[in-house]
Each structure stands twice: as C-alpha cells, then as structure tokens.
Amino acid sequence: MVDNSEILERFKTEATLTGAQVFLACSVEEATEYVLKLVSDKDIKVVVKSGSPIADRLGLTARLAAAGVKVTETSITQWAAQMARGQDVPVDKLAELISAAAGEQVPAEPEAILQVARRILKEVYAGAGLGITEADFGIAETGTLVTLENEGNARLAAILPKLHLTLLDGSRIAGSLADAAELIKGSSGGIQSHKLPTFITYLTGRNTTADIPGAIFARAQGPDEEHILIFRA
C-alpha cells in the first residue's frame, strides 16, 4: 500500500470541518468496537446497510445482530437473500417468503417482487436508527465522500435513517475534485456497463438548512449526524 498519510490527514481535517465525526480505525477490532459503541451510545435498534466490503471484512452484520441490533440489507438482491435466509430459493418460494413478511400476496414475478421490495424498503429506511454505507473514495481537499451505484439504495440508506455512518477505505482518498473525476472515469468502465454509474453522490458534511430563522445550521431533511469510519488495516 502506498503511503498516503498526508492526504489522509487532510481528508480527516476537512471532513471534520464540514461537521462530520471522523474516526480512524487501524484494526478490525478497533473498527468493530467503534460501530458497536456508536449503536449502543445512540441506543440504535434498527440498522439498514448497503453493500460494503469493509462491513463484510469486519463481520459487522453478525456482530450487530449479536448485540441485539436488527440489520436489514438494502440492495434488493441481498434483501431477497436475507428473506431466503441465505438459501438459493426459486422465485415462487421467494415470493412466498416475501408475502409472509409483507402481509400480502406477492406474485412470483421479479417485477412484482421489485415493487413490493421498494415499498417495504422505503419504510425500513425511514424507520432505521442508522444507515451504514461504504464510500468508493474520499476527496481530501473538500472532505467529501464519493459513492457510486446503480441501484439507488446506498443514497437512500445515507439520507433517510436518523444517523448515517460511512465506511471508507483509508487507502482510497483522492487529493482533489480533479483527481476524483479521473478516478470516476477510470472506474466507470468496470461498473456493469460502459456508461457512468447511474448515481454518483458527493456527500460533504451534514445536511443543513437556513430557511427557518433562528436555526441556521440546523439539520434539514437528512440524518441528524454524519459519522465517517476510516478503515486502514
């Protein structure tokens, strides 16, 4: 791994200035402890998450479940897998499981499953105490987190829950906006098609509004707090 400690330091400083709470974890244990402490401190019972290699490496879903926290996967593929308890099930069996969860009869067709999943997930996002997503990389000069996706679940998991935690690989920090654009161009060929990912989100700090007098930097329509866990092990 190249030594990027300077750029990482800049990212931490800038991200902190934007109002995010930044923590650098140098081991699996340190990272896991941080998340477990966060859910316990904030008394969080329900977590939604999008696909995250870092979370997988930390075994985060299992650790959270062991701590009594319900974790819902938000990518529809993984959500369906969660419904099927990890079993490879045929579509009619999956529809049956979802019907039971949704309390309504869901036809055994992918389109119907998609529509029900969308409807159920909307409520799950909004009811969650914490959304966990993983950024593809950070931008040091602005303290920005960049997330690339085609499905749209990561951006919903980042905005609808009460708190948001972004996991970030400490080796993946671009220096500037210009570097970020290069990274995006470089990676887009590899993401499912030749076009750019459908959603590229730059998140810089915590959502605010100045529209209500007397509440200048108040939380607007997204989460109450932005946490960033940089994992560097």
Partner 1 sequence: MAGKLRKQVRRALADETLQAALSRFTMLTRFGRQMGMTGIDFEALRQDLHERKKKAIDDLPALVRQFKENAAASGAVIFEAENAGKANDYIAGLARELGVKHIIKSKSMLTEEIGLRHHLEQRGIRVDETDIGERIVQLAGEKPAHLVGPAIHKTAEQIASLFSELLGEQVSSDSQPLLDTVRRSLRQSYLDAGMGISGANIAIADTGTIVILTNEGNGQLVTTLSPLQVAVVGIEKIVRGFEDANAVLRLLSRSCVGTKMTIYTSFITGTGRAGEVCGMPLPGGQGPRELHIVLVDNGRSRMRDSDDFREALYCIKCGVCLNVCPVFASLSGQTYGHVYQGGIGTILTAFYHDRERSRELAEMCLGCMSCKSVCPAGIDIPGLIRRMRAKHVEEKGLAAGKKLAYRMILKHPARLEGAVRTCARLEGPFLDADSMIKSLPYPLRSITDTISLPGLQTILLGDRMTAYKSPVAGKAPKVAFYSGCITSFAYPGLGEDVMRLLERYDVAPYYPQDQACCGAPAYFAGDSGTALALARHNIEALSGQEPDYVVTVCPGCAVMLKKEFLSLTAGEPALHERALHLSGKVRDLSQLLSELGPGRGIKAAAVGRVTYHDPCHLRRGLGISAEPRKLIESAGYELVEMNDADACCGFGGDTLLAHPELCGSVLQRKLANIEATGVDTVVTGCMPCVLQLRGGLHKKGSPIRVVHIAELLAGRF
Q: Which spans of this chain sit near partner 1 (rule: CB under 8 A)?
A: 14, 18, 74-77, 80, 89-91, 94, 110-111, 113-114, 118, 121-123, 126, 141-144, 149-153, 155-156, 158-160, 177-178, 181, 184-185, 192, 195-216, 218-222
Closer of 85 and 221 to partner 1 (Cβ): 221
Contacts (Cβ under 8 Å, ≥6 apart) of 157:
48, 49, 50, 74, 125, 128, 131, 132, 133, 164
> For partner 1, which is the closer residue by CB, 66 or 215?
215
* Sheet-wide strand order for 46-49: 21-25, 225-231, 163-169, 130-134, 46-49, 70-73
Measured from the CB atom, the residue of 170 and 223 that comes closer to partner 1 is: 223
Nearer of residues 104 and 224 to partner 1, judged by Cβ: 224
The answer to whether residues 168 and 229 touch, using CB atoms and an 8 Å cutoff, is: yes
* Minimal distance, residue 156 CB to partner 1, in Å: 6
- Provide the token pair at 215: 């509440």
- 98 class by beta-carbon count within 10 Å (0-12 exposed, 13-18 middle, 19+ buried): buried
Nearest to 74 by CA among 21, 132, 30: 132
Residue 93 tokens, joined: 């069996």
Considering beta carbons, is residue 59 or 90 the nearer one to partner 1?
90
CB of residue 196 to partner 1, shortest distance in Å: 4
Minimum distance, C-beta of residue 190 to partner 1, in the bound complex (Å): 15
Least distance in Å: CB of 23 to partner 1? 20
